[in-house]
Amino acid sequence: MSTNIRTGIIGYGLSGRVFHAPFIDVVEGYELTKISTSKPESIALIEERYPVTAVVPDGKSIIDDPEIDLVIVTSPNTDHFRWAREALLAGKHVVVEKPFTVNVMEADELIEIAHRQNKILTVYHNRRFTSDTRTVKKLLNSGLLGEIVDYESHFDRYRTDPRPNGAWREQPLPGSGIFYDLGSHLIDQALWFFGMPEAVTAEINSQRAWAKADDHFDVRLHYTTFTATLKSGMICRIPGPTFMLHGTQGSYVKYGLDVQEATLDSGVIPQGKDWGREPENIWGTINAEYKGVKIQGKLESEPGDYRDYFINLRDAILGKSEIAVKPEEARNVMYIIELAFQSSREKRTVVV
């Protein structure tokens, strides 16, 4: 490997444009070598933003390049397994956009190949690196709320009309629908906070009359002493709480999304010490009593920073650090997704 990790990104939709290319471009130790896309508008944008990056027509042009060290797969979900498998077999390190794959069997095969090839394989569960998730993780580790008795997380939107041009996420394809898309985020957060649950109860359905894939879910992860409720819908004019935690010593409620996605989508470069800081008006509210001290009011959010994902990835590839998002963890997300679909289909609680 040369001084920099030569990186190719397969796809330049929202994921490649907003969540990957800007960070490979600015984080020290990477070279944004190639991006694959055939869309004229995407090619024009890449040439404007990254003039020294080569644009190629497909993922094969990246995987077959012996100069490429790292492949980032941001293709539609149905192609995650194909591209990741080919890249690993070609001796590349691989990042796969979430969800990891469309089933557990594919995830297991990729993990086995990565171990055999001695290559880094990870999944872009970037919401571990958001302001709100980091705040909740720190709060849980502090013990400030006491023993958790109830946990709820929402990822709500309001979009009543179909996306233009027949977006693949709304088509009846493997890995399509809101549960694979947003549910994978909420599941990964819950597993990161609390570990694997004992059982799953789920209702996954479509609320919009024209929908061909699921657009609503209510999933309960049952732990020994509490239930984690994960909800998302596309007909929510007033979104539910991003996080709501109740413990024996206090409660924490948080509304509003991490600011990084909207900032990146507007074309802002991810840099500076204030990157990822939330405005005070969307800080969460806490009401707790800890060792006789009463605490009530706004709780300042931790800064979010997707750059840390890529810094950790770089260091893991260079053998200086353990990978933060382990493929086995992403595989467990796929397992919970499969159990949730089974629960919804059979209308019963399924033991993990």
Taken in order of first residue, the domains within the chain and their CATH numbers are 5-124 (3.40.50.720), 127-307+336-351 (3.30.360.10)
pLDDT digits (tens, 9 = 90+) for 72-127: 999 999 999 999 999 999 999 999 999 999 999 999 999 999 999 999 999 999 99
pLDDT at 164: 77
62: CB partners within 8 A, 6+ apart: 8, 9, 10, 34, 36, 56, 68, 71, 87
* Three-state DSSP state, 65: coil
Contact (Cβ atoms closer than 8 angstroms) between residue 92 and residue 71:
yes
Instruction: Compute and round to an integer the Cα radius of gyration of the chain.
Output: 20
pLDDT digits (tens, 9 = 90+) for 278-309: 999 999 999 999 989 999 999 999 999 999 99
pLDDT at 166: 63
The helix (H) or strand (E) run that includes residue 147 is: none
- Alpha-carbon gap, residue 94 to 92, rounded angstroms: 6
Q: Which residues pair with 287 in a beta bridge?
A: 251, 296
- Alpha-carbon gap, residue 233 to 214, rounded angstroms: 9
pLDDT < 50 regions, the chain = 1
Contact (Cβ atoms closer than 8 angstroms) between residue 17 and residue 43:
no
pTM of the model: 0.96
pLDDT at 2: 54
Structure tokens at 210: 């024209």
pLDDT at 173: 87
- Alpha-carbon gap, residue 317 to 323, rounded angstroms: 8
